Each structure stands twice: as structure tokens, then as C-alpha cells.
């Protein structure tokens, strides 16, 4: 028995008028459509076929429906020839119903709601963790890509399937001609770098070249090589410089690919996301400690705008947090498991440390270097810290001073 239409336009039982909705017309005039809707059966010649997902374009967003809509539409309109096997992914850190409906109904994108941790860094981490592609291009939800950018990323990682590199590209200004290829290190205001241009970035035919850092509106990496932002980062800011040094410490390079141009919409009005100086300072402190850089310059840049008592509190908090995520500085000598035991002993005493170490790692640890051992111990320490043991956190902060 044919089902009745229940939409507002056609709610007249089984009697249909010429202006009935398209879905109702198809249902009552096409046997294949009826079989599909009623029984989930498609004719043999209509079975969906698609290339396996090898590549994900993911975008974090926060209350930015227009930005997401423009970016998704531009990808499908202007890069159709390069979209085979590409997954579109949107991670919404706010919960915008218009964004959700656009992704699901028109944008051909997988929508993920992620409101548990507000911030640009954790949302970008979620893009990489949710991606189904082997290679992930993470772009802001208000970025337009230059022709050939997707193809250039695909070709680079196809030629370098084991690469740990991060690809960035020239950021194109509103005149569609001026390009900035990287950040030149050096604090200006609340940024660890300033926009700079390398003439090699002007010709898309030039090969990728190494850069110190870049804006994080366009980042491409293999999913398994992504080092991730520190999981304790919150709010906006603190990403540039930190994530690029993380890539280098994990064995990769940060490259500007001249063919990967991108245009970014910069707002001249109040941002829709929380934009607090304290969050930026906290993220920079955590990030700089995490990669083994001095925080003196970070504190100096914020000291005229954030109260001294707040800075002291954030420094102590960052010290406690980063103890649980040790990363050896670049070119640092290899350290042994005994160093990790010593860290634990500082916190809980030598006898307790020895018992914990045996419990956590088993007898005869056998770790080749510090990192594996530290990961084991620090995972446990982090769990203890997150369990609300404020006294332990305070001891960690005091010991790290």
C-alpha cells in the first residue's frame, strides 16, 4: 500500500496536485524511488559507488554558519575535479543548528558536535581524530582555497607516504595578489611572529620550502603523524609556533607549498568565540613549557595587560600541567628510564615511586629512552591530577619552579 504524504504542501491524503513537493512526486511516479524509500533497495544500475576516503578536509567552527557555508560551497563548486575520495568534515564547538542542517542537507559534510571543550586547539585536535582520511587538511571555516591547492596536497603526500611533515601555503590577501608565506619569529603584541613573505611562494610551480611557523588556518598532515595540540589548551590563541615546533620535535618539517594558496576572512567586529587574554597566555605558557622553550618573553608580552597575580597563578598551573606531558627539547641528549623514576620520586617519595613504577611498567622496564617511560608514568600522574588531588598539583607546581 502506498504511503501517504505528510508534508504541509501535500497533506491531502492520496490526492495530489501538480504543485506537490518534489519528494512526493518522485515517490508516486518512480518505482525505484518507492523501493528505495520503503525497502532500502536500489536497482542494480543505481547502487551508489564512490572512491574510498583517502583525504579529509576538516574545519573547526564556532558559531560561524556563513563561514562554513561559503567554504563548503566553494570546495564543491571550484574544486570539483579534485574532490574524488575526499571527505568533508565539520567539527562544531558551539552547536549552531543552521550549520548542522547545512552540512547534513546541502553541504555534503559529516557534522560533529563537540561542545565539551571550548577552544580552537581542542577542536582542531578533534578534526584529526574524527577524520577518516589518511591525510587531513584542516582549514578554518572561513577559508577559500586557491585552484590546485587540494591537488597539490594530495600529490605531495602520495609522493611522500611516510612523511611527518606539515604543509602550509601562502596566505593570499584581499587584493588576490599579495602573499605571505610564513611567520617570522619574534614577539609582536600577543603573537610570537609576524607575517613575512618569501619570493619562492609567488610561483605555484616552485617546490615546497621549509619555514619556521605559519598561521593555523591551513594545515595538512598525515593523520598518524599529527602531534596534536596540548590537551590542556583552552580558548583561542597559543597555537602558532607551538604546533610547528611540535612537528619538528616529532621528526617532521614545516613546509610552505607555493601551490597551496588560501584566503582567510578576518573579522573587523567582535569575534563570536570567547577571546580572553588569560586563555591566550595560559595556552602559550603550556605550549612553550611543553616544547622546552623559555616562558620569560611570553610573560613579558602579557605583563602590561594581565595582573601579576593572575600571571603567577597561570604559570604555576602550566608547570603542573606540563609535568605530565614531558617532551625532550630538540637535540637534547637521550635520557633513561631512571629520570622518569626520579620525577615520580620527587612527588610521592622514593619508596612509593619504586612500587608505583613496578606496578605501572612491570619488572625490568626495558624502555630504550625516556619518552616511552615518561609516557607510562605521566599518564598515571595526569589521571591523579585530574582526579582533583589539588595538593599533589600544588606540589608539582612548587617542584617545577
Is residue 271, in this structure, part of any structural domain at all? no
Q: What is the mean pLDDT of residues 363-367?
A: 42
192 pLDDT above the threshold of 90: yes
Looking up residue 100, the CATH number of its domain turns out to be: 3.90.550.10
Grade residue 122 by pLDDT with cuts at 50, 70 and 90.
Answer: very high
Which segments within 25-134 are labelled E, that is strand?
55-61, 86-92, 110-113
Q: What is the mean pLDDT of residues 113-138?
A: 94
Residue tagged 619504586 (cell numbers): 354
Assess whether 161 and 81 both reside in one domain.
Answer: yes
Pairing of strands 110-113, 86-92: parallel
Q: What is the mean pLDDT of residues 360-384?
A: 48
Q: Identify the pLDDT of residue 89.
A: 97
Q: Identify the pLDDT of residue 88.
A: 96
What order of strands is seen across the sheet that includes strand 143-145? 143-145, 262-264, 171-172, 179-180
Q: Look over the chain and give the mean of its residue pLDDT values, rounded to a whole number.
A: 79
Is residue 269, in this structure, part of any structural domain at all? no
339 pLDDT above the threshold of 80: no
Name the helix (H) or strand (E) containing 205: none
151 pLDDT above the threshold of 80: yes
Q: Identify the pLDDT of residue 372.
A: 52
pTM for this entry: 0.71
The CA distances from residue 17 to 6, 7, 22, 66, in Å, are 14, 13, 12, 36
Query: In the chain, pLDDT over 90 holds for what percent of residues?
Result: 58
263 pLDDT above the threshold of 70: yes
Q: From CA 315, how far away is CA 306, in angstroms rounded?
A: 12
The CA distances from residue 369 to 8, 182, 207, 334, 377, in Å, are 67, 34, 36, 6, 13
Q: Identify the pLDDT of residue 106.
A: 82
Assess whether 19 and 62 both reside in one domain.
Answer: no
- Count Cα neighbours of 261 within 13 Å in the Cβ-side half-sphere: 21
Grade residue 381 by pLDDT with cuts at 50, 70 and 90.
Answer: low
* SS3 (DSSP) at 50: coil
The CA distances from residue 102 to 77, 105, 128, in Å, are 16, 5, 22
Is residue 272, in this structure, part of any structural domain at all? no
DSSP assignment string, 140-197: -TTEEEPTTHHHHHHHHHHH-TT---EEE-PEE-TTSS-EE-EEEEEEETTEEEEEE-
Grade residue 35 by pLDDT with cuts at 50, 70 and 90.
Answer: low
Assess whether 94 and 218 both reside in one domain.
Answer: yes
Residue tagged 612509593 (cell numbers): 352
Give the count of domains, the chain: 3
pLDDT digits (tens, 9 = 90+) for 39-53: 545 454 444 445 566
pLDDT digits (tens, 9 = 90+) for 267-317: 666 667 678 999 999 999 999 999 989 999 999 999 999 999 999 999 999
Determine which of 24-33, 107-116, 125-134, 314-323 has the lowest per-residue pLDDT on average: 24-33
Is residue 96, in this structure, part of any structural domain at all? yes
Assess whether 322 and 244 both reside in one domain.
Answer: no
Q: What is the mean pLDDT of residues 225-239?
A: 93
Q: Which residues contact 47 (CB under 8 A, 6 or more apart)?
A: none
Assess whether 286 and 175 both reside in one domain.
Answer: no
Q: Identify the pLDDT of residue 328.
A: 42
**Spatial contact of 152 and 257, defined as CB atoms under 8 Å apart:** yes
Assess whether 28 and 79 both reside in one domain.
Answer: no
Q: Which residues pair with 56 in a beta bridge?
A: 87, 136
Range of the domain at 286: 277-400
Q: Identify the pLDDT of residue 354.
A: 64
Is residue 214, in this structure, part of any structural domain at all? yes
Which range scores top for mean pLDDT: 59-68, 342-351, 389-398? 59-68
78 pLDDT above the threshold of 60: yes
Amino acid at each position: 500500500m502506498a504511503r501517504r504524504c505528510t508534508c504541509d504542501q501535500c497533506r491531502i491524503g492520496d490526492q495530489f496536485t501538480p504543485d506537490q513537493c518534489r519528494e512526493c512526486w518522485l515517490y508516486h511516479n518512480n518505482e525505484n524511488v518507492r523501493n528505495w524509500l520503503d525497502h532500502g533497495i536500489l536497482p542494480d544500475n543505481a547502487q551508489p559507488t564512490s572512491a574510498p576516503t583517502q583525504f579529509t578536509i576538516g574545519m573547526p567552527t564556532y558559531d560561524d554558519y556563513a563561514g562554513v557555508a561559503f567554504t563548503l560551497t566553494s570546495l564543491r563548486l571550484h574544486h570539483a575535479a579534485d574532490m574524488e575520495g575526499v571527505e568533508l568534515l565539520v567539527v562544531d564547538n558551539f552547536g549552531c543548528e543552521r550549520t548542522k542542517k547545512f552540512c547534513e542537507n546541502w553541504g555534503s559534510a559529516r557534522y560533529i558536535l563537540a561542545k565539551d571543550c571550548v577552544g580552537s586547539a581542542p577542536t582542531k585536535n578533534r578534526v584529526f581524530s574524527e577524520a577518516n582520511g589518511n591525510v587531513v587538511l584542516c582549514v578554518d571555516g572561513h577559508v577559500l582555497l586557491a585552484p590546485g591547492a587540494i591537488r597539490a596536497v594530495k600529490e605531495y603526500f602520495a609522493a611522500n607516504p611516510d612523511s611527518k611533515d606539515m604543509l602550509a601555503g601562502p596566505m593570499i590577501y584581499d587584493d588576490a595578489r599579495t602573499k605571505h608565506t610564513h611567520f617570522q619569529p619574534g614577539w609582536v603584541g600577543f603573537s610570537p611572529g609576524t607575517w613575512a613573505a618569501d619570493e619562492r611562494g609567488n610561483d605555484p610551480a616552485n617546490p615546497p620550502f621549509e619555514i619556521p611557523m605559519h598561521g593555523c588556518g591551513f594545515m595538512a598532515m598525515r593523520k598518524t603523524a599529527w602531534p596534536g595540540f596540548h590537551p590542556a589548551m583552552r580558548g583561542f590563541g597559543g597555537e602558532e609556533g607551538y604546533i610547528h615546533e611540535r612537528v619538528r620535535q616529532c621528526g617532521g618539517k614545516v613546509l610552505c607549498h607555493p601551490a597551496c594558496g588560501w584566503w582567510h576572512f578576518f573579522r573587523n567586529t567582535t569575534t563570536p568565540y570567547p577571546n580572553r587574554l588569560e586563555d591566550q597566555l595560559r595556552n602559550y605558557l603550556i605550549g612553550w613549557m611543553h616544547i622546552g622553550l623559555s616562558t620569560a618573553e611570553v610573560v613579558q608580552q602579557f605583563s602590561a595587560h594581565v595582573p601579576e597575580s593572575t600571571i603567577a597563578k597561570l604559570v604555576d598551573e602550566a608547570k603542573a600541567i606540563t609535568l605530565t606531558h614531558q617532551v625532550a627539547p630538540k637535540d637534547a641528549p637521550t635520557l633513561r628510564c631512571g629520570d622518569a623514576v626520579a620525577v615520580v620520586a620527587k612527588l610521592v617519595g622514593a619508596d612509593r615511586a619504586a612500587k608505583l613504577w613496578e606496578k605501572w611498567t612491570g619488572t625490568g622496564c626495558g624502555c630504550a629512552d625516556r619518552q616511552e617511560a615518561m609516557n607510562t608514568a605521566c599518564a598515571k600522574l595526569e589521571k591523579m591530577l585530574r582526579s582533583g588531588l589539588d595538593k599533589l598539583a600544588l606540589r608539582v607546581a612548587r617542584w617545577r619552579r
